[in-house]
Amino acid sequence: MTQKPIAVDGMSLDLSGPDVGFASVIPAASVKTKVEGKGIYSGATPVLVTGCIKGTCAQTAPVAGSINPSSLKAKEFGQAVVREGDDTGDFPVAGIDSSTSAPCTILVNVSVDDAGQNKVTTE
């Protein structure tokens, strides 16, 4: 497994799938375990997806997903830490098609684009 930076408070997220949309981390980072003064994320890390639009399909309500940690070696309180590149996997966001008013679905994926630090890495 490749060494990748551990994700910390201030990490950047990438939202793929929609033409437009926003993703943010819901919980605060750890206050006990820090890298360069910033708390790390461990375990399934909840994210909130809002404002998604794909073609004529527009998201109707915020949806939560979880970033799945991939670290095999680094843990915090028994839970794997989140690393750069970790993601939610594809999950559905419900919407309404603006041209037909019919229900529609947008598949989205949220990933850690930039861990927020590059000093500490792990497998």
Residue 1 has pLDDT above 80, yes or no: no
For the entire predicted model, the pTM comes to 0.94
Question: Tokens in use for 47?
Answer: 């994210």
CA terminus-to-terminus distance, the chain: 6
pLDDT in tens, 24-38: 999 999 999 999 999
What integer best gives the mean pLDDT of the chain?
A: 97
* Domain boundaries defined on the chain: 4-113
What residue type is 37 in one-letter code?
Answer: G
pLDDT in tens, 5-18: 999 999 999 999 99
Q: Topology of 4-113 in CATH?
A: Tumour Suppressor Smad4 (2.60.200)
Q: How many CA atoms lie within 13 A of 38 on its CB side?
A: 15
Rounded to the nearest 5 degrees, what angle is found at the Cα of 103, between the Cα atoms of 50 and 91?
45
Q: Which two tokens stand for residue 3?
A: 């060494």
CA-to-CA distance for 110 and 45, rounded, in angstroms?
Answer: 11
How many Å apart are CA 16 and CA 90, to the nearest integer?
9
